[in-house]
Amino acid sequence: MSVSTSSSPSPAPAPAPGASPSRSRVPRVPFWAQILAGLVLGVLLGWIARSADVTWLGTALDRVGGTFVQLLKLVVAPLVFFAIAISITNLRNVSNAARLAGRTLMWFLITSLIAVGIGLTIGLLTSPGAGTGLNPADGERPEKSGSWLDFLTGIIPENVITPFTELKVLQIVFMAAVVGIAALKLGDRAAPLLSFGEAVLALLQKALWWVIRLAPLGTLGLIGTAVSEYGWDLLGPYATFTIDVYIGCLLVMFGVYPLLLGLVGKVNPVQFYRGAWPAIQLAFVSRSSVGTMPVTQKVTERLGVPREYASFAVPFGATTKMDGCAAIYPALAAIFVAEIFGVSLGLQEYLLIVFVSVIGSAATAGLTGATVMTTLTLSTLGLPLEGVGLLLAIDPILDMIRTATNVAGQAAVPVLVSAREKILDTDAYASAKSFDINDTDDTGDGAAADGTGGPVSDATGGKGSAAPPSPAPAPA
């Protein structure tokens, strides 16, 4: 008995350390609540800065929002390069890689075609430019515009430095694709380079996760600046156009994608949004498909898409798959500008809008906004580019829902293709849960706790623990 009583205290401390932190630890505010607080506080501070003419507050909001965007830009260029290059080399581990890549591109085009059709239909039914009180004198030409010649010739960079310093994402994608394909051809001789690239990619992902966690502050600054600069005066002239963009994006996001997932992919659409919501939420506030890319890849893998395929499809989609910015928005923008400037559009012009939206979507590759795509559409139709100036005022409000739609499509298509090709892990898909970004590891690897701190499903369909993940770097 003396032995048993002397040894019994030894296991006793085990429950104590586990129990005491749960009682003493201050509850962490969920990331979605932080984002919501940032939105509300940003609107409030922006309204105060505008109504009370508090110059310093407006300047502070602009600095906070601008710093967040600048941090995203700092990581975006190298992240895109290494993500695309490594993702192409990862395809060597996927059977039927060419087929998967072709099917991915096919569904990108199909969903873009549907999205632009919805945009045109809404625009023709509502006439967003009629009765706005705006006139051609209110607009001005943008400093930069897109054209088909610039698009075709601009893919190839003049040197390897400029695309990174000027954030020319399309040129970065081109160089990354060349490097990735060349590495595939070299085979084992490229192994040291690939190991280096994977390490750099893991480092960039960790840095970007830190930036992502600043999104509530970035949201406060970006929304506050928009309200401070423009106030509510824009709601009158741009009301119909704004509502049209939101309705079009919501129809695609919660109508088209669920139908395709359910009818074509034969998977539960509700479960898709349950798993993909962290990426959609972050895209809405960050207004950056590329900045959201690590979260998009994480949720896609959690939904059962094989990691080797997700690491190709998500970066590819983040730079080319833009149903919000490149399909719905330019269609509505073209109708809006045509009505403001009194230009009549016919069947030929509408077909041109469809063509530009489906084929030219890669021109939107970048951090935020759809100005290049809009100017490309307007110049193709022969509409005045001054119309872009009319749209820039309301752009921050529209860009949130556009980017959320982009990212939803960037996650939905890999799930759809994986389901069609019978490579989707259905157990992982069925058990995938939303997770709190605050509770995830920085590398994006491993399972993370959900909002309640309970276990969640990882990409392989197993059960991940809420315990800290291993320090191993995330694979590309």
Per-residue pLDDT tens digits for 39-48: 899 989 999 9
The secondary structure of 319-336 as a DSSP string is: HH--HIIIIIHHHHHHHH
CA distance to 21, 263, 393, 452, per residue, from 18 (Å) = 6, 46, 53, 16
Instruction: Please give the pLDDT value at position 295.
Output: 92
Q: Would the pLDDT of 14 be above 70?
A: no
Q: Would the pLDDT of 447 be above 50?
A: no
CA dist 398 and 171 (Å) reads 26
Instruction: Please give the pLDDT value at position 420.
Output: 95
Q: What is the mean pLDDT of residues 202-210?
A: 88
pTM score: 0.79
Do residues 406 and 283 touch, judged by C-beta distance below 8 A?
Answer: yes
Instruction: Please give the pLDDT value at position 453.
Output: 33
Least confident of 12-16, 228-232, 421-425: 12-16
Instruction: Please give the pLDDT value at position 112.
Output: 93
Find, among 242, 247, 240, 211, the residue nearest to 226 by Cα.
Answer: 242
Instruction: Please give the pLDDT value at position 362.
Output: 62
Instruction: Please give the pLDDT value at position 59.
Output: 92
The Cβ-side half-sphere exposure at 353, using a 13 Å CA radius, reads 28
Chain centre distance of CA 415? 16
Q: What is the 3-state secondary structure (H, E, C) of 186-252?
A: HHHHHHHHHHHHHHHHHHHHHHHHHHHCCHHHHHHHHHHHHHHHHCCHHHCCCHHHHHHHHHHHHHH
Per-residue pLDDT tens digits for 29-76: 888 888 889 889 998 999 999 888 888 998 999 999 889 888 888 888
As given in the structure block, the two tokens for residue 393 are 């005022």
Burial class (CB in 10 A: 0-12, 13-18, 19+), 8: exposed
Do residues 43 and 227 touch, judged by C-beta distance below 8 A?
Answer: yes
Instruction: Please give the pLDDT value at position 7.
Output: 45
Torsion region of 41: left, alpha or beta (phi above 0 gives left; psi -120 to 50 gives alpha): alpha
CA dist 380 and 111 (Å) reads 22
Q: Would the pLDDT of 470 be above 80?
A: no
pLDDT band, very low/low/confident/very high, at 8 (cuts 50, 70, 90): very low
The 3-state DSSP class for residue 255 equals: helix
Q: What is the mean pLDDT of residues 124-133?
A: 86
Select the more confidently predicted residue: 269 or 391: 269
CA dist 466 and 472 (Å) reads 17
* Signed CA dihedral, 457, 458, 462, 465: sign only: negative
CA distance to 149, 178, 267, per residue, from 156 (Å) = 12, 11, 40
What is the number of other CB atoms lying within 10 angstroms of the CB of residue 420?
Answer: 15
Q: To which residue do tokens 């809008």 refer?
A: 353
Cβ within 8 Å of residue 314, ≥6 positions away:
87, 293, 296, 297, 300, 410, 411, 414
Q: What is the mean pLDDT of residues 459-476?
A: 36
Average pLDDT, the chain: 80
Instruction: Please give the pLDDT value at position 20.
Output: 45
Instruction: Please give the pLDDT value at position 206.
Output: 87
What is the number of other CB atoms lying within 10 angstroms of the CB of residue 124?
Answer: 14
Q: What percent of the chain has pLDDT over 90?
A: 34
Least confident of 148-162, 221-235, 333-347: 148-162
Instruction: Please give the pLDDT value at position 25.
Output: 59
Torsion region of 366: left, alpha or beta (phi above 0 gives left; psi -120 to 50 gives alpha): left
The 3-state DSSP class for residue 456 equals: strand
Q: Would the pLDDT of 278 be above 50?
A: yes
Q: Would the pLDDT of 354 be above 80?
A: yes
Longest pairwise C-alpha distance within the chain:
98
Q: Would the pLDDT of 2 be above 60?
A: no
Q: What is the mean pLDDT of residues 438-442?
A: 59
What is the number of other CB atoms lying within 10 angstroms of the CB of residue 123?
Answer: 28
Do residues 331 and 344 touch, judged by C-beta distance below 8 A?
Answer: no
Q: Would the pLDDT of 185 be above 70?
A: yes
Q: What is the mean pLDDT of residues 182-192?
A: 88
Instruction: Please give the pLDDT value at position 404.
Output: 95
Q: To which residue do tokens 């085990």 refer?
A: 14
As given in the structure block, the two tokens for residue 423 are 């490579």
Q: What angle do CA 28, 32, 37 make, to 5 degrees?
A: 85
Q: What is the mean pLDDT of residues 166-170?
A: 74
Q: Would the pLDDT of 356 be above 90?
A: no
Q: What is the mean pLDDT of residues 406-417?
A: 96
Q: Would the pLDDT of 217 be above 70?
A: yes
Find, among 202, 245, 231, the residue nearest to 469 by Cα.
Answer: 202
Q: Return the DSSP state at 160.
A: S
Q: What percent of the chain has pLDDT over 70?
A: 79
* Signed CA dihedral, 26, 31, 35, 36: sign only: negative
Do residues 359 and 151 touch, judged by C-beta distance below 8 A?
Answer: no
The 3-state DSSP class for residue 457 equals: strand
Of the segments 220-229, 397-406, 435-444, 460-469, which one has the largest average pLDDT value? 397-406
Q: Would the pLDDT of 466 be above 60?
A: no
CA dist 399 and 397 (Å) reads 6
Do residues 427 and 270 touch, judged by C-beta distance below 8 A?
Answer: no
CA dist 396 and 394 (Å) reads 6
The 3-state DSSP class for residue 464 equals: strand
The 3-state DSSP class for residue 156 equals: coil
